[in-house]
Amino acid sequence: MRRTGAEPEVRRVADAEALARAAAEEIARAAARAVAERGRFTLALSGGDTPRLLYELLADDREPFRTRVPWERTHVFFTDERHVPPDHPDSNARLAKETLLDHVPVASVHRFRGESADAAAAADEYERDLRSFFGTAPRDPPPRLDLLLLGLGPDGHTASLFPGSDALGERRRLAAAPWVERLRTYRLTLTLPVLDRGREDLFIVSGAEKADALARTLAPEDAAAEPTPAARVRPRDGELVWIVDAAAARQLRG
């Protein structure tokens, strides 16, 4: 039963290993449904440390996901990227390539050109790539990806949408290149209109260092407090699923 537009569905798992497996199962389920309904699966990957175990599990030829996910029908995008070349240690594209995309035969990969000196131009180029792939014009609603994999930062950011960022207010553009003062760098990111059009937004959150951000996102004590960027992700006609491990969930009630 798909839960759309409603309250987030929160699934608690024991630890990081269980989280990777639960997320892999969710991706396999979404992929099978997308290919059955539309003949392809459009998947946006996020970066950071949390997804590494998941990507390695999906690529592991001793695991069922190598065959359960229709990789030949899968088109890979990114929720965000650092402003670095694709061979840089911080690159999300490099993480995905080394742990997953070099090991499974995906149909296409669409990465932000983090190597571009002009971050804003790289965001514009990504928007053109999205519009070209999905066949959507600027006047059309944003493209609908089947599953967008998202993480949560300790400050409540997701993708590269950070607290207080102007990019949070972007309602027209599909991609943006916000300056992130705390990191003293530009980032490249999908905007909320794209995240909110997802058929499924899947958050994966692991570790005690995320407990406060997770509680502020899913169960803010102060209703008047500014919602975290992650709390702003509310797919109107899609599933919102949070898979969280016990350490990250320790401040949640129940």
Strand locations in the chain, DSSP E? 9-13, 41-45, 74-78, 80-82, 108-109, 147-150, 175-176, 179-180, 185-190, 200-205, 239-245
Residue 160 C-beta: closest distance to ligand 6PG, Å:
6
Smallest distance, ligand 6PG to C-beta of residue 227, A: 16
47 or 70: CB nearest ligand 6PG: 47
- Asked whether the beta carbons of 143 and 134 are under 8 A apart, the reply is yes
**Min dist. Cβ of residue 96 to ligand 6PG (A):** 11
Q: Measured over all CA atoms, what is the biggest interatomic distance in the chain, rounded to whole angstroms?
A: 49
Of 64 and 164, nearer to ligand 6PG (C-beta) is: 164
User: Closest separation between CB of residue 242 and ligand 6PG, Å?
Assistant: 13
* Spatial contact of 136 and 67, defined as CB atoms under 8 Å apart: no
CB 231 within 8 A of CB 192: no
For ligand 6PG, the closer CB: 43 or 70: 43
Q: Residue 251 CB, nearest distance to ligand 6PG (Å)?
A: 17
Interface with ligand 6PG (CB under 6 A): 46-50, 79-80, 92, 151-153, 157-160
**Which of residues 30 and 205 has its CB atom nearest to ligand 6PG in the complex?**
205
Q: Which residue is nearest to ligand 6PG (CB)?
A: 151
Please, which residue, 33 or 232, has the CB nearer to ligand 6PG? 232
CB of 204 to ligand 6PG, least distance (A): 8
**Contact partners, residue 123, CB within 8 Å, separation at least 6:** 112, 173, 175, 176, 177, 188, 189
Buried b / exposed e across 123-151, counting CB within 10 Å, b at 16+? bbbbbebbbeeeebeeeeebbbbbbbbbb
When the beta carbons of 80 and 127 are compared against ligand 6PG, the nearer one is: 80
Instruction: Give the chain's radius of gyration (CA, Å).
Output: 17
